Amino acid sequence: MNLPKNGSYELYLVHRRCVMDLSHPAYDLFGRNATRILQRLALVKDGLTGRRISELSDVPLGSTQRALAHLERTGLVVAQPAGRAIIYSLSRGHVLWPVVAAALNAPLQLERLIAEIVHRHAGNSATVAVYGSFARGEAGPDSDLDVLIVWEPGISTDDQAALLDELNDQLENATGNRVEIVDLSLSDLHRLVAANDPLIESWKREAKTLSVGPDIKSLAKNAAA
């Protein structure tokens, strides 16, 4: 990419009308309360009481009890008496559990998809990271998916273009949300630092590197040194 001397950067946008809750896509399938309960139960082996699930999931007790009753009816959750209490645990052998687990792990799968595409086209000649609300785990249905790519010297413009094209297409199909990709070289990164571009502070603070190689935060800090 050719970066103007004013320190601006190349920005690729993908527009779609449909949207997904990027940080919590399972909310769209199961609702917030059931998703948070399933996420909490997925972290433990021996189960929890309804009250403890409510506390850890930040779901009101009444809503927790209703959600657990529904999940128990479907067979995804098993309830077992333990003295005066009832212990709830996941039925990981349920035919629907792999589907539920995939939905709960969708943000991680999205990160892996980004890393795989970049590695396939650029190997270790590019560093890729996500930043913004998705990197913070705070992205909602109206959030963009913000991606940063820093090219190492030697990767051809054709390879760069092929990577960006596939990344645009794949992320569009994978999420439906608007995707913003900033791509720049190491020298471009130094110019952004010199121009005091506000994105630099954002990258140093919250960028999450997905690829093998230099960490984006380290690259940004070294460029500022």
142: domain CATH number? Answer: 3.30.460.10
Question: Could you tell me if 66 and 170 lie in one domain?
Answer: no
Rounded to whole angstroms, the Cα distance separating 88 from 68 reads: 8
How far the first Cα of the chain sits from its last, in Å, is 24
Question: Domain end: 42, 59, 94, which one?
Answer: 94
pLDDT of residue 2: 44
Residue 20 resides in a domain? no
37: domain CATH number? Answer: 1.10.10.10
Question: Could you tell me if 119 and 76 lie in one domain?
Answer: no
Question: Could you tell me if 111 and 217 lie in one domain?
Answer: yes
Question: Could you tell me if 90 and 110 lie in one domain?
Answer: no
Tokens encoding 19 = 């949207």
What's 6's DSSP letter?
T
Tokens encoding 156 = 């051809």
Expressed as residue numbers, the domain containing 38 is 26-94
Average pLDDT over all residues of the chain: 89
pLDDT of residue 143: 87
**What percent of the chain is predicted at pLDDT more than 90?**
64
Looking at the structure of the chain, the number of domains it has is: 2
pLDDT of residue 224: 66
Predicted confidence band at 5 (pLDDT cuts at 50, 70, 90)? Answer: very low
Please check whether residue 129 is in contact with residue 209, taking contact to mean a CB–CB distance below 8 angstroms.
yes
**Has residue 6 got a pLDDT over 50?**
no
Q: What is the mean pLDDT of residues 155-175?
A: 91
**Minimum mean pLDDT range among 54-58, 131-135, 144-148, 221-225:** 221-225
**What percent of the chain is predicted at pLDDT more than 70?**
91
Phi, psi dihedrals of residue 60, rounded to the nearest 5°: -50, 145
Tokens encoding 152 = 């190492």
**Has residue 198 got a pLDDT over 60?**
yes
pLDDT in tens, 104-159: 999 999 999 999 999 999 888 899 999 999 999 999 888 889 999 999 888 899 99
* CA 138 remoteness from chain centre: 9
Rounded to whole angstroms, the Cα distance separating 92 from 77 reads: 9
